Amino acid sequence: MKGTMKHLFRILYGCLFLSILAGFGVHFYLSPHHYFVWENLPVFSALYGFIGCILIILGSKALGHRWLQKEEDYYDKPETIRSRDS
């Protein structure tokens, strides 16, 4: 099992390296027209997308914990209050 995970991480790091290399290649060899200053940074789009995904994940987890997640006995509370009153 440990060897399989090690192999998968090597594949992951290899794909990450190739993606960064392709980003630099596009930036330096194709020279697309940039509208904003920060678009001149190599691999800006990849970093922007990665940070955006992390923020979406963290925001949804916070929303889930604060608003969606209920206590374990959430549905039992009204019934116990009604049974005490009668």
Q: How confident is the model at residue 9 (pLDDT cuts 50, 70, 90)?
A: very high
pLDDT at 82 over 60: no
With tokens 């960064």, the residue in question is 20
Q: Compute the CA torsion angle 50, 56, 61, 64 (nearest 10 deg).
A: -160
What residues does each domain of the chain span? Answer: 1-42, 43-86
pLDDT at 76 over 80: no
Q: How confident is the model at residue 80 (pLDDT cuts 50, 70, 90)?
A: low
